[in-house]
Amino acid sequence: MEQKKDIFISYKDNDEGAFFARQQAEALERLNYSVYFNPNEHKSADFTEKIAFAVKNCKDFVLIVSQKCLDALKSGNERDWVRFELLTARAEGKNIIPLMLNGVKMPSKFEELPQELTFLPKIDNIEVLKPQQFENSPLSELIGSIVSKAEKNDIFRDDFNNNALYDVIADFEETKKRAEQGEAKAMYELANMYFYGYADENGESKRSFPNAYKWLKTLSDLNGEYSSLANAMLAKMHYRGVVPREKQSFAKSYEYHKKASVESEYSKQQMAYMLSIGLGCAFDFEETEKAYLATMGNNDNIAVAGLANFYIRYGKFKKAADLYEQILHTFPKAAYDLGCLYKIGVLSDPPKPDYFKAAFYFQHAINSGYSNAEVHFQLGMLYFHGCNGFFCDFKIAQQNFEIAADAGHTAAQYLLGYMYEHGHNEVNLEKAIHYHTLAADNGDALSPTHLSILYQLPECKNYHKAFHYASIAAKNGEKEGEFVLGNLYFFGRGCEADVDKAYELYKRAWEHGCDQAQFMLEKIEKINQNH
């Protein structure tokens, strides 16, 4: 029996379109789409039957239109194979997508085409620039036009929990019961379940900030075990502006981080950052330096870069350069910042610009995925934070971030995703995913974690994508991403459940300062004891 394929690629043989067709077929197959492309079958005796079967059973019909192909269609030659394939696709109601090569234009006058092909100019087409160089692949636009899915990638798309050893609903109910009975550990676990969207009363993966806040505030007020960890999460919620019936407050965020910093590595890092710019607190150089140095034990890229940036602002350029060297190969922005230092010549005494090293480090940053549109980004940051008497204005911030983001500025793309995710002007999860995806594709360290959480929400659910982005975040050494990837492996969402991998990731996340990972480590150890 012939194997059915989702995407049929039609092209003119012995033509520039043939090579381009092969390139697109191979690219789609690498993304796990099923593609019909077999030039050798042109010589087989039963080619007509095979081609008709393939077209009738595809979902998308991609037509590679070179000038030679278009001329053949205009001629009305009934023996032309592309014509036969196209008319078969039309008769079967397939999704036809013409790719116009080398400046070829679809005829605007219907009389230029035979009567049976006058439908073709009415179909939206994709223009491919400079196809002779085959550098500007229309793949992303093509994928946006096809209806087929990458089935091999999507086999775990809707799996909420395929871990046979763990019942997420039962654990949620049991944890909720213990929390309601006053157990502090259960309150903290339940708050995390609501915050990260493990499950809700209806058995869905859904975040609930009000419920998370309720249990965290209860723990904080108890001022006992787990109160410090609860304070760290409360600080995060105030910083993001997701506390119910309250506006975003950096001052409250700082106060909660200060309470939590005795036990929370995350709060230590946030305190250092907020101190460095006087965000929600008074600026003090020595206190800021102490706060940053207190975060250095976890070898966290974000913490190292934070201290380096702080040193640059106050003229400690050599110290900053030494720190950037430590994280150069794991944090792309470090190369950009180190290039800036060499460009203005502040790493030598007396100062002397070194354009060679600057060019090297800038290129290293580009090759690592970091791009720059600094002016609008920095202006946007002023309006976003509103520090030191400068009033915040999220609308102006967003306008500037959009300009920077459209020019490829990674951090601006991240912050736009952040703002749309948390609703600083409006909640728009589609735009949040769009900008976080742009930032992640440019190498941002934090956006993959946000995407891994967003893709677990009911409105955006795609556990395969959640797993993909959590994997990137974990590879970058981002602790919350390690924790989320651990969750996906543990529950079996977007992947085959693997408790051993989950344990390894939870351990890494905990060692990097993700406090939430500890209770999941204990959960796995309990499972091992019972099995």
At position 62, the amino acid (one-letter code) is V
Check pLDDT > 70 for residue 363.
no
At residue 437's C-alpha, the angle toward residues 435 and 438, to 5°, is 65
Check pLDDT > 60 for residue 518.
yes
Residue 343 and residue 358 in contact, taking contact as beta carbons nearer than 8 Å: yes
Question: In which band, very low, low, confident or very high, does the pLDDT at 506 lie, cut at 50, 70 and 90?
Answer: very high
User: For 13-20, what is the mean pLDDT?
Assistant: 79
Question: In which band, very low, low, confident or very high, does the pLDDT at 135 lie, cut at 50, 70 and 90?
Answer: very low
Residue 361: per-residue pLDDT? 73
In the three-class reduction of DSSP (H, G, I as helix; E, B as strand; rest coil), residue 220 is classed as helix
Query: Alpha-carbon distance 266 to 70, whole Å?
Result: 61
Check pLDDT > 80 for residue 498.
yes
Residue 281: per-residue pLDDT? 92
In this predicted structure, which of 196-200, 453-457, 479-483, 517-521 has the lowest mean pLDDT? 196-200
User: For 430-438, what is the mean pLDDT?
Assistant: 94
Residue 81 and residue 51 in contact, taking contact as beta carbons nearer than 8 Å: yes
Angle in degrees, 0-180, between the axes of helices 265-277 and 285-293, rounded to the nearest 10: 150
In this predicted structure, which of 248-252, 351-355, 399-403 has the lowest mean pLDDT? 351-355
Return mean pLDDT, the chain.
Answer: 85
User: For 222-241, what is the mean pLDDT?
Assistant: 94
Residue 317 and residue 308 in contact, taking contact as beta carbons nearer than 8 Å: no
Could you give the domains of the chain? 7-145 (3.40.50.10140), 299-370 (1.25.40.10)
Q: How far is CA 31 from CA 139, 151, 314, 349, in A?
A: 11, 10, 47, 52
Q: Which two tokens stand for residue 506?
A: 């939870």
Q: How many Cβ atoms are within 10 Å of 316's Cβ, its own excluded?
A: 16
For 448, the enclosing helix (H) or strand (E) is helix 447-454
Check pLDDT > 60 for residue 41.
no
Question: In which band, very low, low, confident or very high, does the pLDDT at 217 lie, cut at 50, 70 and 90?
Answer: very high
pTM of the predicted structure, to 2 decimals:
0.49
Question: In which band, very low, low, confident or very high, does the pLDDT at 276 lie, cut at 50, 70 and 90?
Answer: confident
pLDDT > 70 fraction of the chain, expressed in percent and rounded:
86
Residue bearing the bigger pLDDT, 137 or 361: 361
Angle in degrees, 0-180, between the axes of helices 81-91 and 67-75, rounded to the nearest 10: 80
Per residue, what are the HEC states of 322-384? HHHHHCCCCCHHHHHHHHHHHHHCCCCCCCCCCHHHHHHHHHHHHHCCCCCCHHHHHHHHHHH
For 365-392, how does the pLDDT look when each residue is reduced to its tens digit (9 = 90+)?
A: 656 766 557 646 755 776 788 654 557 7
